[in-house]
Amino acid sequence: MDAEQARELLERELPTVERLVAAVCRRHGLEGDDADTFASWVRFRLIDNDYAILRKFEGRSSLRTYLTAVVANLHRDHRIQRWGKWRPCAVARRMGGVAVLLDTYLNRDGHPLDEAIERILQRPGVEEDARDLRAMASRLPRRPRRRFVDVESGDVTELILT
């Protein structure tokens, strides 16, 4: 498929793309400006590089199925681009799955230690007790949480200088 055919395909299927984008936004809680930004980014990516994403369609599935996968993958890429990709620390990976889960609750999600421990103890198959989890937590490095600032509402000079 050449770029002109891909452009025609996109024009014809744009309502389908918009419905798929709306479904992804609902599923992931994107509303207002965030949803609009994501929708614009999807449209941009579909036309980027002479409609490269659409030109890759080989007809091995229905076009709707292909577009569903494309929009879902674009959401993942958009989220990673905006927020980064969180990975557990090496210490937690060396200590095992429960430590990775503890690191996730503490450092990625920002839960207090007691709440993180309670969540882990409620999971089936966890053999550690609260004392073991506290010992694990003491060995995990603390990572600073991201601070989000509305740059339109005030002076961000102090954030830039810190």
* Predicted confidence (pLDDT) per residue in 33-68, tens digit: 999 999 999 999 999 999 999 999 999 999 999 999
DSSP string, 34-97: HHHHHHHHHHHHHHHHHHHHHHT--SSS-HHHHHHHHHHHHHHHHHHHHH------HHHHHH-H
Residues 8 and 77 in one domain: yes
- Does the residue 56 lie in any domain? yes
Residues 16 and 54 in one domain: yes
- Does the residue 62 lie in any domain? yes
- Does the residue 57 lie in any domain? yes
- The reported pLDDT for the residue numbered 149 is 62
Total domains in the chain come to: 2
- Does the residue 145 lie in any domain? no
- As a whole number, the mean pLDDT across the chain is 89
Residues 13 and 76 in one domain: yes
- Does the residue 155 lie in any domain? no
- The reported pLDDT for the residue numbered 143 is 80
Q: Predicted confidence band at 160 (pLDDT cuts at 50, 70, 90)?
A: low
- Domain enclosing residue 120, as ranges: 90-139
